[in-house]
Chain A
Amino acid sequence: MASASSLVRLEGLTVAFDGVRVLHGVDVELARGGTLGLVGESGSGKSVTWLAALGLLPTKARVEGRVLLDGEDLLAASERRLDAVRGGRIAMIFQDPASALNPVLTIRRQIGEALALHRGLSGRAIGAEAKRLLDLVGIPDAERRLSAYPHEFSGGQNQRIMIAMALAGRPDLLVADEPTTALDVTIQAQILDLLDLVRRETGMALVLISHDLGVVSQTCDRVAVMYAGRIVEEGPSDRLFADPAHPYTRGLIGALPPLDGSRRRLVSIAGTVPDPKAPPPGCAFAPRCLHSDRRCAVAQPSVETIEPGRRMACVLAVHRREESAGAASSLARKETAAS
């Protein structure tokens, strides 16, 4: 699916800590201004993927593969070059804004630092731009609030400030790692709305990492589902949620209690996530999978395209593709019959 217009492309990204592989070759691509959701449970590698891509893992981590930003491989880039990219072209925000902000500096100082570093602003210009950013992220009374400290803001407001700081370098890509997990439901809705608004206004691309399928589907056009260090399914958000293909994706959606209609027993996925030190042979999901057979224990399933723009790593993929081809041809038959 390589295309000329892609902003970021990860190719065969692997990560190992102390010889234990936690990421097994992630390939994913994001178009300019596009939105990609990354879902998975703890230990699936969804955060590690982007920390590795941005060179933010501790030095003992072994990272291999390629991370192409407009064709430039970030894994081969110098530390100086990376410093310019991080916070400049690519910004990242995390779950806990209170610990990401410096408690003893005013908001003006912290946003100002980013503006001076990445935009070369100074003096008055910093104040004016910092105020504009706070206005943009919806902090009321921005002028006065600039001289406040992080503890004077609520959790939701601190996350808004983090977003303002991330926007200071005019990034082409914002990576948001569980940005609403620590927030209440009504505040989560505000922050997701804000991310959507900011993205549309600035034209930046967004990667949203979350364990919450609902959060991701609300905000992202494309979704990748990760399990045990691999992308097991990827596709357009509406298709993926309307008709999940991989047994794990189906399990995740079935595990979610419905908010309306009749109550049904939840489809739970038996067992637990495999230990990365002792991964099962073949498909990592096979021990928990309802559809697994002998083939699954033999080899890791290859990534197959199941319909245009959708791919998954499962032995069911071939079956699935035939099914969708069959459905398409029967649809075509119906249409000719109707006309």
Chain B
Amino acid sequence: MSEPLVRVDDVARAYHARRGLFGRPVEVAAVDGVSFALGRGETLGIVGESGSGKSTTGRLVLGLEPTDRGGVVFDGAPMPKGGTAEWRRLRARMQMIFQDPLGALDRRLPIAEQIREPLDIHGVGDRLSRLDRVGDLLDRVGLGVDHGRRYPHELSGGQRQRAVLARALATTPDFLVCDEPISALDVSIQAQVVNLLVDLQAEFGLAMLFVSHDLRVVRQISRRVVVMYLGRIVEEGSADDLFATPVHPYTRALVSAAPTPGRRLVDRIVLGGDPPNPADRPTGCAFHPRCPVAEARCRVETPRLVDVGAGRRAACLLVAADATPNREAA
């Protein structure tokens, strides 16, 4: 196997939060030992609920935030420290898009100028070729030249996200991190943007890290998927296998809770309890207080992410014992 484009090795990041005005600061582990690799042109989805650390992972991978532990290797070399000149040069090759396109765009500049900006910053081509490139990019994301002359507030939500995407692609990056890029859009517009992302990913041969709480969208876009819970990966596998035969009890509950039109509430796993609080991490397996199959040892032993066969990894004491995922055929 060739060297992956991005290798994330045991990264961790903690914040300090104060409880109440005079409370003592507590350490909150947002991401706690996450590792994965991403090949050129490959797509990896990160699924999780709020507090799972999925967004922080995206930011750590890009160097937008320093790691407390572990490191990221990009194209064979360690990721330079965020904010340095070396890191800025590398930024042309890795881009990020967020949930809120209006917040990501400058309200006072026409769209076309904002798409041209990264070309100016990274000194790509001369003035004329940059203008051509902006036209190409607008066309590629399904916007017209007249959209380029407009300001962000004159575009719809879906059009804005297309503009953000055009800007991200301006420097022909190798790597794109998308953090909930379609969550704020209406269903019919979501489908437009998902199709566009799939097309562009294939056309540009982008490696993509796609962060979302929406299992369906993640499956549509990603080839491999990791599921995060309280700052750690609990399961990893190919998108098709993972959603068809989830191994970890948390993934099983997530898949079962995803609403499907035309299906009523039957045989659904409804997890008890609240979403976990990273400031108050349970001992042992962090999922045990909500886990329907937890045993006594889950309270004390912390499961490690281990290979369970068929390209799957899972962090569950009970699954490790089984060794292989429960296949329908078995």
Q: Which of A156, A157, A196, A273 is within 8 Å of B265, CB to CB?
A: A196
* CB proximity to A under 8 Å, residues B151-199: 156, 158, 186-192, 194-195, 198
Nearest CB on B from A162, distance (A): 16
Check if A214 sits within 8 Å of B257, measured CB to CB: no
A42 and B186 contact, Cβ closer than 8 Å, known pairs A187-B275, A268-B192: yes
A259 and B258 contact, Cβ closer than 8 Å, known pairs A184-B275, A266-B195: yes
What is the CA–CA distance of A256 and B220 in the complex, to the nearest angstrom?
Answer: 10
Nearest CB on B from A22, distance (A): 16
By CB atoms of chain A within 10 A, which of B186, B188, B213, B253 has the most? B188
Check if A214 sits within 8 Å of B156, measured CB to CB: no
Tell me the number of A-to-B contacts counted with CB atoms below 8 Å.
129
B255 at the interface (CB under 8 A from A): yes
> Which residues on the A side are within 8 Å of B213 (C-beta)?
184-185
Check if A154 sits within 8 Å of B259, measured CB to CB: no
> Which residues on the A side are within 8 Å of B275 (C-beta)?
154, 156, 184, 186-187
Closest to B275 in A: A184
B268 at the interface (CB under 8 A from A): yes
Nearest CB on B from A41, distance (A): 4
B270 at the interface (CB under 8 A from A): yes
Nearest CB on A from B37, distance (A): 23
The proximity string for B residues 191-235 relative to A, scoring 1 for CB distances below 8 Å and 0 otherwise, is 110110010000000000000010111011000000000000000
Closest to B156 in A: A272
Check if A242 sits within 8 Å of B257, measured CB to CB: no
* CB proximity to A under 8 Å, residues B271-293: 271-272, 274-275, 290
What is the CA–CA distance of A270 and B156 in the complex, to the nearest angstrom?
Answer: 13
* CB proximity to B under 8 Å, residues A97-148: none
Stretch at the interface among A247-255, A296-304, A309-317: A247-255
Nearest CB on B from A301, distance (A): 20
> Which residues on the B side are within 8 Å of A192 (C-beta)?
259, 265
Q: Which of B243, B262, B271, B274 is within 8 Å of A259, CB to CB?
A: B243
Check if B257 sits within 8 Å of A255, measured CB to CB: no
What is the CA–CA distance of A146 and B191 in the complex, to the nearest angstrom?
Answer: 44
Check if B244 sits within 8 Å of A260, measured CB to CB: yes
A320 at the interface (CB under 8 A from B): no
A211 and B187 contact, Cβ closer than 8 Å, known pairs A217-B259, A265-B195: yes
A188 at the interface (CB under 8 A from B): yes
* CB proximity to B under 8 Å, residues A228-257: 237-238, 241-242, 251-257
Check if B274 sits within 8 Å of A187, measured CB to CB: yes
A193 and B270 contact, Cβ closer than 8 Å, known pairs A41-B187, A211-B186, A267-B191: yes
What is the CA–CA distance of A211 and B214 in the complex, to the nearest angstrom?
Answer: 14
Q: Which of A156, A215, A258 is within 8 Å of B259, CB to CB?
A: A215
Check if A242 sits within 8 Å of B262, measured CB to CB: yes
What is the CA–CA distance of A192 and B268 in the complex, to the nearest angstrom?
Answer: 12
Check if B262 sits within 8 Å of A217, measured CB to CB: yes
> Which residues on the B side are within 8 Å of A252 (C-beta)?
187-188
7 A-B residue pairs with CB within 8 Å: A185-B258, A186-B49, A187-B274, A219-B265, A252-B187, A255-B187, A288-B188
A→B interface (CB under 8 Å) = 41-42, 154, 156-157, 184-190, 192-193, 196, 211-219, 237-238, 241-242, 251-260, 263, 265-270, 272-273, 288
